[in-house]
Chains A and B, each alone.
Chain A
Amino acid sequence: MNQKREDITQAEENLTANLQLLETILYADLQNAGYQEIEPFLDNWVSLYQSRVDYLDLTAGNGFVFFRHGRQEPTDHFISRTVAIQYSYQSSATLSVRWNLTDAHFTARRTLMLLGLIQLITTLTLVFFLRLAMQRKRDSRMLSERARDLDLANQDLHQEMEERTVIEENLAIEKEQLQVTLRSLEEGVILIDCRGFILLTNSAAEEMTGCRGQLCIGKSIDEVLDLVEEGSESVFRLVESGLLLKTGGATKELVMRSLDHKSRFVSLSCSHITNDQDEITGVVVVIRDITKTRSLEQEQHKNSMLEALGVLAGGIAHDFNNILMAISGNLNMAQELIQEPSGDDAELQDILSNAEKATDRAADLTRQLLTFAKGGSPILDATAIDGVIRESADFVTHGADIHLEYDFEPDLLPVLIDRHQIGQVIQNLVINARQAMSTGGSLTITGSNSIEKQGDLETPMVLIEITDQGSGIPEPDLGHIFDPYFTTKKEGSGLGLAVVHSIIARHQGRIEVRSRLGEGSTFTIHLPASRKALSTPDQDMRSLIRGTGRVLVMDDDDAVRLITCRMVRELGFEVIEADQGARTIELYRDHLQRRQTIDLVIMDLTVPQGMGGQETIRQLLEIDPECRAIVSSGYSNDPVMANHLDYGFKAALVKPFSLRQLSRLLGKVLDQS
C-alpha cells in the first residue's frame, strides 16, 4: 500500500514536470503561429512516454483539436492533468494528459524505476560532475583569478622592487654627488647634531682643523675648533656662544688655530637643519678661510696708504726740488761769477762748491723719493755701471764700519741703464748688507762680462755681484725676499728688495741670491750689455756756450724762474718771463704777430695751478710748428721727460741744473735748428 502510494506520488510529480515542459513548448508554437509544429512534437512526446501516456489532447478554444492521442475513456488507475494555455488575448488551448497507473504499468515499474533510477543516478552523476566541473571551472577560474592576482601582485612587487632599486641607485648617486661636492668645496663643512657633536666633516674642514677622518666624528665641535676672537686672543666657543641657535644662520669672523698649530682667519656661518615640524635636528657649520682675503685687504690698504704717501711725497719732492733748483742754481751762478778764484774767493768757491754738492745730493734724494712715489720707466743711457756702483755704494757706506772692495773687469761692457734707478738698486742692496753686518765686515762688489745663451741666441751680459759677510738669510725665506712686504726685520716696509727686483726687471735683467746662515749672502744682478757706445761725458764743461736770441722762460715757481732767467741772460740771451702756460702762449702769439721771433721756450712741465708744459707745447706748435722748446722738471722719469721728442720738445732739462748744463743744452738745441 505504502509502496503504491509512493508510486502515485512519484507519477504525479513526473506528470506535473512534463506538463510544465509541454505547456512551455506549446505556448511558444501557438503564440508564433507555428501550428504545424504541434502535431509532430506531441507525436514524438507521446512516443517517448507511450507506456505512461494514456491520453493526450490539445484542443483550441473553439474546439478544434490540434492533437489527440489515446482513448477518452479512462482506465481504472490514472492521474490526469489539464492545463490551459492562453497564447493571445483571444486565443487559448487546453492540454489534457492522462497518466496511466494500472498494475500492468506497475509491472513495468521496476524497469521504469530502474530506468528512473538510472536516469536519476545519471542525472545526479551528471549534476555532480557538472557541479564538479563548474566547481572546478569556478575553482579554476578562482585559481586563474588568484593566479592572475598573484601574477599582478608579483608584477607590482617586481615593479616596486625595480623602482626601489632605481631609487636606491639614485640615492647612492645623489649621495656620491653630495660627497664629491663636499670634497671639492674649498670651504670646510661640519655637520653637528643639536648637542654640538660632529656627525660629518668634509676634507676641507679636516684640513683646516687638523682633525682628520673618523677622529672628528662624535667629538664636540668646540673640542675640534680652536677659535679666538680677532685681536683679543680670547677663546671663542661655538656652542657656548649661542651662535648655533641663531635663526636664519649667523656669520662671525674669527682666528682659527688648527691642531697642527696653523692659524688662519676664518668666517664661520651656521645654518639649521629642520624636520617637518620645523624642529632643529642639526646645524651645518661652514668655515671659510679668509686669510688670503684679509692679506689682500691689508695689501690693498697698504697700497692705498703708500699711494697716498706717494702722492704726498711726490708733492713735497716737487716743491723741494724747485727749492733745490733755486739754491743750486744760485750757488752755481755764484761760482760762475767767481771766474778766477784767489784768496778768499778760493775759499768762497770751495764753500759754494760744497754747498752745491750738498744740494746735488739733496737733489738725488729727492729724485729717489719721486721715483718711489711715481715709479716710472727708466731713462736708459749707455753707461759704465762701475761708476754708478761706486758712487752709490760709497754714499751709503760712508761712516759705516764696512770695508768696501771693488773688482771690475777692465773692459767691463757698458749697460743701458737709468743711472738714478740703478743707483737706487745698489743703495738698497748695500744698505741691506750693511744692516746684515751690524758689527762690521767686508763688502765686495764685482763686475764681469758674460754670455747668456738661449738656443742659438747669445746675449752679452754684465754681472754685478754684491757679497757681504752678514748673518745670512734662512733658506725658507730665500724664495720670498723679493716679495712685496716680506721682511724679517722688526722695522722696515719690506719694499726695498721688491723695488730692486722691479727696477732690474724694467732693465730687462734679473737678480739672484745665494746665502748661508752665518756666512753671508751674495746678490747677483744680470743686465744686458749695451750695444750703444757709451754716452760721452759732457766735454769742456768749463767753458760756457753763449748765444743771442730771445728765450721765453716759463715756470710757476718764482725763485726757479728767477734763477733760470738770470742764467739765460748770463748766457747772452734776451729773456721773456711767464709763470704758466696760458701766459706763455699769449706772449708767444703776441711776439709772433709783431714778427718778434722767440728763439726758444724753456717751460716747466708741472704747473699745479695752470697749464703745464705738455699742453703748452701742443698749443704753441699749433700756432707755430717751428717753435723750439725745452721741457724742464725735477722728475726725470716722467714719460714726457723720458720721451720729450714725442711731445714736441727739442730737449729735456732735469732740475736742478747748472749754468753749464743749461748752456750746453741751449747750444745744442739752437745749433740743431
Chain B
Amino acid sequence: MRQPVFFLIACLLMIPAAAPCHEVLVLGIHPYKPNNVLQKNFRPLADYVQEALGYAVEIRVGTNYQDHLHAISSGAVDLAFLGPAGYVNLTKLFGEHPLLGKIVTNGEPVFRGHIVVAENSSLTSLKELGGKRLAFVNLFSTMYLVPYAMLKQAGLKVEDLSGQAFLNSHQNVALGILAGDFAAGAVKEEVFLKFTDRGLRSLVPTMEIPEHVFVANSRLDPELIAAASTALMNLKSTEIGVKILQSIKSSCTAVVAAEDADYDPLRDLLKYLDKDLE
C-alpha cells in the first residue's frame, strides 16, 4: 500500500525539475541563410537560453530583413539576432533597443567584406563598375549597404550601374560572379576566402564592420534582459558554449558586450545613403 504512494510522491517531486518554463520567448533571426539551416544552427543556442532563463525558446526566421526589424519593434520577437546594418536601421526606425551583446569571430568583434570580381576580370577599381551588373545579398544587409556607400563615395550611383540583383546569400553572389552573370558583387570575407580558389578576387575590401548583435525587445522585463545578456556572454566560458556559438558561425567564439556607440561609424556611413534608401 505504501509503495504506490511513495512512487506517486516521487513522480510529483520530479515534475518541477522537468517542468521547462512558464512562458515562451521568441528568438528571431534575420534571414541571411535558408530557414532550415538557421533553425538548425540556432537550436543549440535556443536550448541554452531556455535552460539559462527558464523560458521555452522558439526560433523564428524573418521572411526578409524589414520584416525582421518590424518583428523586433512590435514585440513579435523577444530576442533577436541581426546584422550591424540591421541594428543601425532598427535604431533609426524604431529607436533604441537593449543590446545583449555582439559576437566575436576569428577573435574580433568586427568583420569585413569585399567587393569582389572574377579572377580574370579586367576591373580594377570601383569607378570601373559603372555600367556593370552587380550582385548583392540583400537590400537591407550590411553587405549591401556598406559596399553601396563605398560606391557612392567613389562617385557612383545606382543609376550608373546596368543593374543590381539581390541573391539572398553570399554564396550565390560569389557563384554568380564566377559564372560570369555579374561583373562584381559584395560578399563577406569568409565567403570571399572560400571562393578565392575558385577564381574570386577582391576588388576593394570594406571598412571594419561591427559584428552581428543580439538585441532584446524593449518591453521585456529588465531583469530578464540582463539575465539573457549574461547568459550569452557566458557562452565563451565553456566548451559547450563555444560549440553553440560555432554552430551559429564556425568562426564565432564569443559574445561580448556591445555599445550603441560601436555602430556609429557604420551609422555615419549609412547616413550617406539616407536619401537613396528612403
Contact = CB atoms under 8 A, between A and B. Distances in A.
Interface of A: 30, 33-36, 38, 60-62, 64, 66, 88, 90-91, 93
B218 interface: no
Contact of B180 (A33, A36, A38, A91): A91
Contacts of B181: 33, 60, 88, 90-91
B172 A64 contact: no
A33 B167 contact: yes
B178 A60 contact: yes
A64 B171 CA distance: 15
Contact of A62 (B165, B171, B172, B180): B180
A60 B179 contact: yes
A33 B178 contact: no
B199 to A, nearest CB: 7
Contacts of B179: 30, 35, 60-62, 64, 66, 91, 93
B37 to A, nearest CB: 11
Contacts, number: 42
Nearest to A38: B175
Contacts of A35: 167, 171-172, 175-176, 179
B50 interface: no
B199 A36 contact: no
Interface in B170-196: 171-172, 175-176, 178-181
A64 B180 contact: yes
Contacts of A30: 179
B251 interface: no
Contacts of A91: 179-181
B43 to A, nearest CB: 21
Contact of A33 (B118, B176, B198, B199): B176
9 contacts: A33-B167, A33-B172, A35-B171, A36-B171, A60-B178, A60-B181, A64-B118, A66-B175, A91-B180
Nearest to B169: A36
Given A36-B172, A66-B175, A91-B181, 20 more contacts: A33-B135, A33-B165, A33-B167, A33-B176, A33-B181, A35-B172, A35-B175, A35-B179, A36-B169, A36-B171, A60-B180, A60-B181, A61-B180, A62-B179, A64-B118, A64-B180, A64-B199, A88-B181, A91-B180, A93-B179
Contacts of A61: 179-180
Nearest to B165: A33
Contacts of B135: 33
Interface in B14-43: none
A64 B199 CA distance: 9
Interface string B196-212: 00110000000000000
A63 to B, nearest CB: 8
Contacts of A62: 118, 179-180
Contacts of B165: 33
A66 B176 CA distance: 10
Most interface-central of A60, A61, A88 (chain B CB within 10 A): A60
Interface residues of B, number: 15
Contacts of A36: 169, 171-172, 175
A38 B178 CA distance: 14
Contacts of B198: 64
A518 B52 CA distance: 144
A60 B171 CA distance: 16
A36 B199 CA distance: 16
A93 B175 CA distance: 13
B198 to A, nearest CB: 8
Nearest to B198: A64
Contacts of B178: 60, 64
A93 B180 CA distance: 11
B105 to A, nearest CB: 21
A90 B199 CA distance: 20
A417 to B, nearest CB: 123
Contacts of A66: 175, 179
Contacts of B171: 35-36
A39 to B, nearest CB: 9
B194 to A, nearest CB: 11
A33 B179 CA distance: 10
A464 B165 CA distance: 142
Interface string B146-178: 000000000000000000010101011001101
Nearest to B199: A64
A134 B25 CA distance: 48
A33 B176 CA distance: 7
A61 B199 CA distance: 15
A521 to B, nearest CB: 126
B172 A34 contact: yes
A38 B175 CA distance: 10
A60 B176 CA distance: 10
Most buried by B among A33, A60, A93: A33
Nearest to A93: B179
B121 to A, nearest CB: 10
A33 B168 CA distance: 9
Nearest to B175: A35
B133 to A, nearest CB: 9
A88 B179 CA distance: 12
Interface in B110-135: 118, 135
A328 to B, nearest CB: 139
A514 B51 CA distance: 134
A61 B167 CA distance: 20
A444 B45 CA distance: 150
Contacts of A88: 181
Contacts of A33: 135, 165, 167, 172, 176, 181
Contacts of B199: 64
B117 to A, nearest CB: 12
A36 B169 CA distance: 8
Most buried by B among A35, A88, A91: A35
A33 B180 CA distance: 12
A201 B57 CA distance: 99
A573 B131 CA distance: 162
A91 B199 CA distance: 18
Would you list the 5 A-B pairs with minimal beta carbon distance, nearest first? A35-B175, A62-B180, A60-B179, A36-B171, A64-B178
